[in-house]
Chain A
Amino acid sequence: MLFSETTSSGQFFGLVPWIVFAPIIGLLINIFAPYLVRWLNQTFKTELVWSETATGLVASLAAGATFVIATLQLISLGQHHEGAIIPVAEWIHVGPLALDWNFRVDSLSTTMMLVVSGVGTLIHIYAIGYMHEDVRFKNDVGRYNRFFVFLNLFIAAMMILVSGDSYLMLFVGWEGVGLASFLLIGFWYDMDTLGRPSWANSNAAKKAFITNRVGDFGFLIAGFLIFSYMGSFQFDTVFAAAPELAHAHPEILLLITVFMLIGVAGKSAQIPLYVWLPDAMAGPTPVSALIHAATMVTAGVYLVTRSAPIFSLSHDAQYIVATVGAVTALFAATIAVGQYDIKKVLAYSTISQLGFMVAAVGMGAYVAGMFHLVTHAFFKALLFLSAGSVILGLERGHHHLAHGHHADHAEVFDPGDMRNMGGLRKQMPVTFWVYMIGTLALAGIFPFAGFWSKDEILLDASRHFPHVYWILTAAAFLTAFYMGRQVWMVFFGEARHEAAAHAQESPLIVTIPLMILAALSALGGFMNLPFAGFHNFAHWLEHTLGEIEVLGLDFAVAGISTLLALVASAFSWFLYLRKPLTSGQPDPLKKPLGLLFVGMENKWFIDEAYQHFILNAYANLSKFLAQTIDWDFWHEWFHNSVIAKNFVGLTRFLADPVDLGVVDNLSKVLADWVQETSQTLREMQTGYVRHYALSVLVGVVAILGYLLLVSR
C-alpha cells in the first residue's frame, strides 16, 4: 500500500499476481482435463486422450509463463528501481490486525522469482522425459498426470512465498511449499525408493512435513512477537519499527530472530532440524533438484535476507545465525563423505551448502548469501538432474539385462548406489560432462560459478567472523573431497555391476535442460565479479537492501580455498581412483578413519537419537494418555465405575420407595402416553432408561418447587 501510487508507472508490475495464477490454472487444467476427456468420450463417443504430452505441455507452459512474468518484472524494475506493491484482495482484517493479499516486486523478490521460474521451467521440461520412464519402471502410468499437478502447485506456493508483502503471506507460501514437498516426497507413497511395497516413502514425506511444522512453530512465535511489538506483519512497517524496538527491547528483537531461526532451520534444513532433507530424496529426482536443492530449501535464506533490517540490528542474532549455518555446513559435509547413495551425497551436500548461505546472510553478507543461493540453484539442480539421468541410465541397463537374459526380476537392484556404478563416462558422455561442470562449480574451482559465490562468503567471514571462516573453509575442503569421491566412483574406473556396464544415455528432453544448467553453472559467477564495476548483482540487490559493502578479490582467501579444493580432489583421487574400487570392496576410508567413518556412514546416529528420545517418547506419552489416563482411569474407572454405578444405585434407591407411591402412577401415565402416540418410542421403553429419566424429572420438580417456595 505504501507504494501503490507507483503501480501505474511500472508497466509490468500489475502482472505479478499471475505468477501465482498461471501455475494454478495449469494444475486445475491437469486435474480436470482427464475427467472432461472421459466425459466427452462417453457422451459424444469421441476417442480423445489426455496424453502425457498434453499434461507435460500444460504444466511446462504454466511454469514458462511464470518465467516470462518474472522477466517482465525485471524489465520494469530496470526503469523503476523502487519496485511496487500490487494489492489483490483483503485477507484477514480483525481488530488491530490487517492482512492483505499484496504482492511485492523488488529486486530481491524478483531475483527469487527468476530463479524459481527459470530453474523450475527447465525441471518441468526435464520431468516430461524423466517421469515418462519413471512411471513405467514403477508400473503405474496413471500417476504421471498427478506429478505435474503437484509440481505446478509447488511453483504457485513458492511464488507466494517469495512475492508476498507480509510475513503472513510469506508464511502461506512457506507452508504451501511444505505441502507440495510432502506430496512429492511421498509421490511413490506405496513403496520404498527401490520400488518395493513399503511405508518408507510415505514416512519420509510425513517426516518432512512434521519437521517443518516444528520450524513453523518458531516462525509463528516470531510472528506473534513481531505483531505485538511492532504492530504489523507488513514488511516496510515492521522494518520501520525495528530500530526503535532494538533500542527499547533488544532482548525481544533477539528473541524474534532466534524464533525465526527455528523456522529457517526447518525449511532450510539446518541443525537441529535438517534430518528430513536426506529422507526427502525418496521423491522423484526432478523433485530433489527443484524443491530440495534449488528453490524451496533456500526459503530460509530468503527469509533472513528479507528480514535484513531486523537481523542487522542485533550482533548477537548475527553471531548465532552465522554459527548455526557454519556448523551445519561442516557437519553435513562430514556425513556426505560417508554416503553411498548418489542422491544422499548430494542431499547432505545441499544441507552443507545451505549452511554456507545461512552463515553468509547471518553475517550480514546478504549479497554473498543470495549470490550463492543463485549459483547453487544452477549447479545443484544440474547435479541432481544429472544424477537422475545416471539412475535412469542404470535402470535402462538393468531392464535391458533382465529382458535379455530373462532373469528373474526378484533381484533387488539399487540404481542409486554408487557402489553399483563405475566407468559411466563411456556409456553416458553427455551426463558425464555436465556432471563434471556441476562438480567443479560446487567444489569451487576457478572460474566456475561456485568459486565466485563461495569465495565471497569466505572473504566476508574472514573479515567479520573468523571462527565462521575457519569452519567454512574446512567444510569447503570436504566439499571438494566428497565430490571427487563421487565422480571417481560413478564415472571413472570400471563398471562394478552389469547394469552399469549396460547403462544407456538419456534422451534429449532430459539432456537439453542439463546442458542449459551446465552453461549457467559455468558462467553464472559472472553476474557478480569481485572487481570494481562488475558488482552487478550487488548493485541490483542494493535497491532492496540498501547500501551494501562490496569487497574486492582477496588473493589470500581465494588462493587458500582453491588450493584446498585441489588438494582435496587430489586426495580423493589417491583414495578412490589410483586403484579403482572393485565390486564389494569396502570404502577405502573405512580402515584409516575407523569409528569416525562409522559415524559418518550412519549420519552420526542423529536420526536414531531423534527417533528414540523424541518420536518414541511422544508416541509413548500419547499412548499412556490415551489408554491409561483417558480410557482406563477417566472413562472406565471414574465415569463408569464411580459415577455411573453410584448413580444407578441412587436411582434404585429413589425409584423403589417412590415407585410404590405417587410417581409410579405418573410414570405409568407418561409411559402409556408415549406408547400410544409414537410407535417409534416403544423399543426405548426399557425400565433402565425410564429410571434415569424419572430420577432426573424428580430432581427437576424438587428444585423447581423449592425455588418457588423459597423465593416468593
Chain B
Amino acid sequence: MNFLFEPLTIVTFFPLLGVLALLLINSEQKTAIRWTALVTALLAFVISLWAFFFSGQYDVAAPGLQLVAKYDWITVAGWNIRYYLAADGLSILLVLLTTFLTPIAILSTWTAIEERVKDFMIFFLMLEIGMTGVFLSQDLFLFYIFWEFTLVPMYFLIGIWGGPRRMYAAVKFFLYTMAGSILMLLAILWLGINLDTFAVPELIGKVPAAAQMLLFVAFTAAFAIKVPMWPLHSWLPDAHVEAPTAGSVILAGVLLKMGTYGFLRFNLPLFPEASIQAAPVIGALAVIGIIYGAAVSYAQKDVKKLVAYSSVSHLGFVMLGMFAMNSLGIQGAILQMINHGLSTGALFLLVGMIYEQTHTRELAVYGGLWKIMPVYGALTLIVTLSSMGLPGLNGFVGEFTILLGAWGAGSGSYGSVWFAALSAIGVILAAIYMLYMFQKMFLGPAGEITKHHPLHDLNWREIATLLPLLVFIFWIGLYPKPFFDLMSPTVDELVKLLSAAALR
C-alpha cells in the first residue's frame, strides 16, 4: 500500500476524496455540493504546490524524473505494466495548470449550473484525476488508461450540461479522440511487447530506427486529433460551442494540451529520428493551422466559435515551436501551452459570463457593452490583448520565443525561416480577429441586447474567478523567469537527445 502515500499519488487521486464526500451529500443541497467541490479542487491545487515546491523532494534544477512512484502492477504473462508516476520539467507546469484551472472552472459554474449539480461536480473532479494522471504517468499503459479515462467525464459534461446539439457534439468528441487513440494503443502494445517494458524512461533510445516512423504516425494520430492540428480540428468547434462554460475552459485549457504534451513526452524522446524526419511536415501543418485558424476565426458570428477556432491557430504555434526542436522552440511551446490555457480559458469564462445574462453568443446583437459593463470590458480587453500577443503580457513571451526557435536561431537548427515568417503573419491576423471580437462586443453604439436586455457588471465572484488568471497573464508577461526555470533543465536534456539523434 506504499504507493498510496506517494506525493504524486496524492496529487493525482486527491479529488477522489471529494467525489466520495459528494456522494454522501444530498443532491438538493447545492451550495454544500459546490463548496465541497471547490474546496476539494483548491486543496488539490495546494497539494500540487506542496509536492513540487515545499515537500523538499522535487529539485527544480534537476533535469530527470522526480517524485518517482514506481510499482509493479500487471505482470502476468510476461507483461511489464507498472504503476509509474513521476514528474519533470515537461509535466510540472501542466500539472499545476490543471490543478489551478479546475477550481477556477468550478467557481465559474456557481450560478451557471443549476441542474444536477452533484453529478456535474463528480464528473468534474473525476476529469481532474484523469488529466493529472495523463501528465504524470510514465508508463505507457497507465498513460493510456488515464488518457481514455478523461473522455468519459468530458463526454457527460458536454452531453448532459451542454447546448442544444450537445449529444451530437459529445459523441463526435468521444469518437474522434477514440479513433485516434486506437492507433496509439496499437503502437503502445507493440512497444510493450517487443521491448518488454511500458516504462517511457526505459524505452528511450531503445526503439529501432526502422520501426520509428510507423510508431510515430500511430502516436501522432491520437495526439494530432487532440491538439487539434489542422485538418483534424472538425470536432473542436462543436465540442466548444456545445460544452458548458466550465467544460470549455477545461477543454481548451487542459485537454488540448494533452495532445501537445503527448508529442513532447512520447514522440520526441521515443522516436527522435522519426520526429526529425517528420518535422517539416508537422511544421507545415502547424503553419497552415496558424493562418487557417486565424482566418476562419475572423468570419465567425458566434463568439464562442470564434474563440474555439482561435485555438487552432494558437496551438499551431505550440506545434511549430516544439518541432523546431531547439531549446527556444520547445520552451516557448511549453510556455505557450500554459499561456493558451490561461488566456483562452479566461476568454471562455468571459464569454460564459455574458452568456449567463443574455443567453446569446451572437456577435451582431452586442455592441457598446463597455459603457454598461466597464469592469467586464476592461478585463476582456486585457485577456484579448494577452491572446493576441501584446508584449508585456504572457502570450508574447511564448509566441516570440517559439518564432525565434522556429527561425532556427537556437541550437540544432531544424527551424525554417519560412515557417517562422509565415507564422508571424498569424500575429497580424490574430490582431484582426481579436480586435474584431472586442469591437463588436464592447465598442460601437449599443446593439439589440445592450439596449433592451437588463445587464449588470461582473459581481465579486466573477471577478474572483478571473483575477488569478490575470495575475499570471501579467506575471508571465513581465517576469517569466520562474516558469522557464522549471522547464529548462529537462528541455535541455531533450534537445541534447534530439541533436544526438540528428547526428546519427
Interface, chain A (partner B; CB < 8 A): 89-97, 140, 168, 171-172, 174-176, 179, 182, 186, 189-191, 197-199, 201-203, 205-206, 209-210, 213-214, 216-217, 220-221, 224, 227-228, 618-619, 621-623, 625-627, 630, 634-635, 638-639, 644, 647, 680-681, 683-684, 688-689, 692, 696, 699-700, 703-704, 707, 711
Answer yes or no: B445 CB below 8 A from chain A CBs. Answer: yes
Residue of A nearest to B370 (CB): A189
When the two chains form their complex, are residues A94 and B443 in contact, meaning their CB atoms are under 8 A apart? no
User: How far in angstroms is the closest Cβ of chain B from A75?
Assistant: 30
Which chain B residues numbered 324 to 372 have a C-beta less than 8 Å away from chain A?
A: 326-328, 331-332, 368, 370-371
- How would residues 415 to 436 of chain B score, 1 for a CB under 8 Å from any chain A CB and 0 otherwise? 0010011001101100110011
Contacts of B58 in A (CB 8 A): none
Whether A224 contacts B404 in the complex (CB less than 8 A), given A176-B392, A217-B425, A619-B298, comes out as: yes
Chain B residue with the shortest CB-CB distance to A188: B443
- Determine if B427 and A216 form an interchain contact, defined as CB atoms under 8 angstroms apart: yes
- Min Cβ gap B314→A in Å is 16
From 189 to 236 in chain B, residues with beta carbon under 8 angstroms from any chain A beta carbon are 189-190, 193-194, 231, 234
Q: Which residue of A lies closest to B406 (CB)?
A: A224
Decide: A625 and B296 in contact? CB cutoff 8 A: yes
Are B193 and A707 in contact (CB-based, < 8 A)?
yes
Q: Which of B161-179 contact A (CB under 8 A)?
A: 171-172, 174-175, 178
A95 touches B296 (CB 8 A): no
Q: List the 6 shortest-distance A-B pairs measured between CB atoms, nearest first.
A: A95-B327, A626-B299, A202-B443, A197-B445, A189-B443, A172-B391
Q: How distant is the Cα of A201 from the Cα of B442 in the complex, in angstroms?
A: 13
CB pair A220 B424 closer than 8 Å: yes
Interface centre among B189, B237, B391, B432 (most CB of A within 10 A): B391
Tell me whether A97 and B445 are in contact in the complex, defined as CB-CB below 8 angstroms, given that A680-B156, A683-B160 are known contacts: no
Could you tell me the distance between the alpha carbons of A700 and B144 in the complex, rounded to whole angstroms?
A: 13
List 28 contacting pairs A-B, 8 Å CB cutoff, sorted by A: A92-B400, A94-B332, A94-B484, A95-B326, A96-B328, A140-B371, A168-B391, A176-B391, A202-B444, A206-B436, A213-B428, A224-B420, A622-B295, A622-B296, A625-B296, A634-B234, A635-B234, A639-B234, A644-B172, A647-B175, A680-B160, A684-B156, A699-B182, A700-B182, A703-B185, A707-B189, A707-B190, A707-B193
Set of chain A residues within 8 Å of B119, measured between Cβ atoms:
680
When distances are taken between beta carbons in the complex, the residues of chain A under 8 Å from B417 are 224
Cα distance A181–B119 when bound, in Å? 49
Is B92 positioned at the interface, with any CB of A under 8 Å from its CB?
Answer: no
Q: Which residues of chain B are near A681, meaning CB under 8 Å?
A: 156
- Say yes or no: A209 contacts B431, CB within 8 Å: yes
Q: Is B481 an interface residue (CB 8 A)?
A: yes
A189 touches B444 (CB 8 A): yes
Q: How far is the CB of A186 from chain B (nearest CB, A)?
A: 6
In contact, B391 and A171 (Cβ under 8 angstroms): yes
Give the complex CA separation of A43 and B407 in angstroms: 57
User: Chain B's nearest CB lies how many Å from the CB of A704?
Assistant: 7
The interface residues of chain B lying within 8 Å CB-to-CB of A199 are: 439, 443-445
**Distance (Å) between the CB of A430 and the closest chain B CB?**
35
User: Across the A-B interface, how many residue pairs have beta carbons closer than 8 Å?
Assistant: 185
Q: Does B280 lie at the interface of the complex (its beta carbon under 8 Å from any beta carbon of A)?
A: no
Select one of B116, B370, B400, B427 contacting A680, CB under 8 A.
B116
Bound Cα distance A81, B172 (Å): 68
Report B-chain residues with C-beta under 8 Å of the C-beta of A622. 295-296, 298-299
Residue contact B439 to A202, C-beta cutoff 8 Å: yes
Q: Is B489 part of the binding interface, using a Cβ–Cβ cutoff of 8 Å?
A: no
Taking CB atoms, residues of chain B closer than 8 Å to A205 are: 439, 443
User: Contact: B299 with A96, CB < 8 Å?
Assistant: no
Give min CB distance, A21 to chain B, whole Å. Answer: 13
| Interface-central residue, A168, A220, A704, by most chain B CB under 10 Å | A220
- Answer whether A97 and B328 are a contact pair too, CB < 8 Å, given A190-B443, A199-B445: yes
A189 / chain B contacts, CB cutoff of 8 Å: 368, 370, 442-444
Task: Decide: B185 and A700 in contact? CB cutoff 8 A.
Answer: yes
Are the C-beta atoms of A228 and B407 separated by less than 8 Å? yes
Within 8 A of A (CB), among B18-59: none
Tell me whether B480 is interfacial, beta carbon within 8 Å. yes
Closest to A172 in B: B391
CA–CA, A2 and B495, complex, Å: 31
Interface: B403 (CB within 8 A): yes
Q: Are B431 and A626 neighbours in the complex by a CB distance under 8 Å?
A: no
Q: Give Cα A186 to B443, complex, Å.
A: 8
- B299 and A190 contact, CB distance less than 8 A: no
Instruction: Kindly report which residue of chain A lies nearest to residue B479, judged by CB atoms.
Output: A89
The answer to whether B411 and A206 have CB atoms under 8 Å apart is: no
CB-CB < 8 A to A210: which residues of B? 428, 431-432, 435
Q: Is B159 an interface residue (CB 8 A)?
A: yes
Q: How far is the CB of A383 from chain B (nearest CB, A)?
A: 29
Distance between Cα atoms of A700 and B234 in the complex (Å): 24
> Do the beta carbons of A224 and B403 come within 8 Å of each other?
yes
Interface residues of B, count at CB 8 A: 74
Is the Cβ of A220 less than 8 Å from the Cβ of B427? yes
CA distance A140 to B370 in the complex (A): 13
Give complex CA distance A228, B324 in Å. 14
| Measured CA separation A634–B236 after assembly (Å) | 13
Interface contacts beyond A221-B421, A626-B298, A634-B231: sample of 11 additional A-B pairs, CB < 8 Å, sorted by A: A90-B479, A94-B484, A96-B410, A97-B409, A171-B391, A190-B446, A198-B445, A618-B298, A644-B172, A680-B122, A696-B175
Residue of B nearest to A710 (CB): B193
State the CA gap A625–B309 with chains docked (Å).
12
Determine if B182 and A626 form an interchain contact, defined as CB atoms under 8 angstroms apart: no
A213 to B389, CA, bound (A): 11
- Could you say which of B116, B190, B368 contacts A190, with CB atoms under 8 Å apart? B368
B391 touches A190 (CB 8 A): no
A514 to chain B, nearest CB (A): 32
| A140 to B374 CA separation, bound complex (whole angstroms) | 13
Residues of chain B within 8 A of A203, CB atoms compared: 439
Q: A189-B444, A199-B444, A703-B186 are in contact. Are A95 and B331 (CB under 8 A)?
A: yes
Contact B298 A92 (CB under 8 A): no
Answer yes or no: B300 CB below 8 A from chain A CBs: yes
Instruction: Please state if B424 and A711 are interface contacts (CB–CB under 8 Å).
Output: no
- Nearest B residue to A170 via CB reads B391
Query: Once the chains bind, are B397 and A92 in contact (CB under 8 Å)?
Result: yes
Which residues of the partner chain B approach A176 to less than 8 Å between Cβ atoms? 390-392
Q: Does B260 contact A (CB under 8 A)?
A: no
> Are B174 and A692 within 8 A (Cβ)?
yes
Given A625-B295, A703-B182, are A220 and B409 also a contact pair (CB < 8 Å)? no
CA distance A214 to B427 in the complex (A): 9
Chain A residues with Cβ below 8 Å from B480 are 91-92
Complex contact A213–B484 (CB within 8 A): no
For residue B9, CB closer than 8 A to chain A, the reply is no
Chain B residue numbers with a CB within 8 Å of A626 are 295-296, 298-300, 309
Contacts of B193 in A (CB 8 A): 707, 711
User: Is residue B385 contacting chain A, with contact meaning CB distance below 8 A?
Assistant: yes
Q: Which residues of chain B are near A700, meaning CB under 8 Å?
A: 182, 185
A35: nearest chain-B partner, CB-CB: B375
Closest CB in chain B relative to A156 CB, distance in Å: 10
A227 to B331: give the CA distance in the assembly, Å: 18
Q: Contact mask B276-314 → A, CB, 8 Å, 1/0? A: 000000000000000010011011100000000100000
Say whether B401 faces chain A, with CB atoms less than 8 Å apart. Answer: yes
Please, which residue of chain B has its CB at the minimum distance from the CB of A704? B189
Give complex CA distance A89, B417 in Å: 30
Query: Which of A89, A214, A224 contacts B409, CB < 8 Å?
Result: A224
CA distance A630 to B308 in the complex (A): 13
Measured between beta carbons, the chain B residues less than 8 angstroms from A638 are 234
* Shortest beta-carbon distance from B412 to chain A in Å: 10
A202 to B420 Cα, complex, angstroms: 31
In the complex the two chains form, what is the Cα distance from A201 to B445 in whole Å? 10
Chain B 451-494 interface mask (CB, 8 Å, partner A; 1/0): 00000000000000000000000000011110010001000000
Alpha-carbon separation in the docked complex, A97 to B481 (Å): 12
Q: Which of A213, A625, A680, A704 contacts B299 (CB 8 A)?
A: A625
A209 and B389 alpha carbons, distance in the complex (Å):
13
Chain B CB within 10 Å — which of A168, A681, A684 has the most?
A: A684
